[in-house]
Amino acid sequence: MNQHPCDPQGAMPKLADVLKRTPADKVIVALGTNSLPDGTTASPIYTQMANMVRAKGACQWIGPPVLNPPQAIGWSSHKRGSVEDLQVSRERISRLQANLDGFYTSLSAKVDGICPLVDSRPATQSGPALETEDGIHRGTAAGRVWAAALSNQIGTIPARSRTSGGARSTN
């Protein structure tokens, strides 16, 4: 049985529980492609989540990466890569990619005033970080390039102190 690393019983833990039991100077919320809606509107739950994370202290959000529709491989429940599955997969990934800009605008409006939002699109739109295994998921090499770029970007955004009332600190 696969277990989620945050919960010994394998159940997906609630964010409030994770925040309560995990000591941290800064909380970083990273969204992947599964966070993208079929439209462009980020869920209102993200504002609630950002407020919960912010209550813990310094926080940042990382938005989802760009997708790579030409690298879609197609999936079905029984076989991989059939022509029909490949077409459906490319269309779905293309739709998600087309909605990404609008999603970022909506997400920024919901969380950026609470926790700074890091845009991971520039780090994943070209070069090695664009390479995916299936149009969506980065492999090890692409993930390392993406992580290095985000690490640099996160380091340049000032953290907010818990007592600053949302103002950016100078540390």
Is 3 part of a structural domain of the chain?
Answer: no
- Burial label for 120, CB within 10 Å (0-12, 13-18, 19+), is buried
pLDDT per residue as tens digits for the range 29-46: 998 887 887 778 888 899
Residue 77 has pLDDT above 80, yes or no: no
* pLDDT-based confidence at residue 53 (cuts at 50, 70, 90): very high
Q: Are 164 and 170 in contact (CB under 8 A)?
A: no
pLDDT of residue 8: 65
The whole domain housing 131 covers 25-67+100-156
Residue 34 within a domain:
yes
Would you say residue 91 lies in a domain?
A: no
CB atoms within 10 A of CB 84: 9
Mean pLDDT (the chain) is 78
Q: Considering the domain boundaries, does residue 111 fall inside one?
A: yes
How many separate domains does the chain show? 1
110 part of a folded domain? yes
What pLDDT score was predicted for residue 107?
94
Q: Please give the C-alpha separations between residue 53 and each of 15, 19, 94, 123, in angstroms, as whole numbers.
A: 8, 7, 32, 24
Asked if the structure places residue 161 within a domain, the reply is: no
Strands 58-62, 117-118: pairing kind: parallel
Question: Which pair of tokens denotes residue 110?
Answer: 């919901």
Residue among 82, 101, 88, 153 nearest 123 (CA): 153
Task: Answer whether residue 127 is part of any domain.
Answer: yes
- Residue 133 in any domain: the answer is yes
Give the count of beta carbons closer than 10 Å to the beta carbon of residue 126: 9
d(CA 122, CA 129): 10
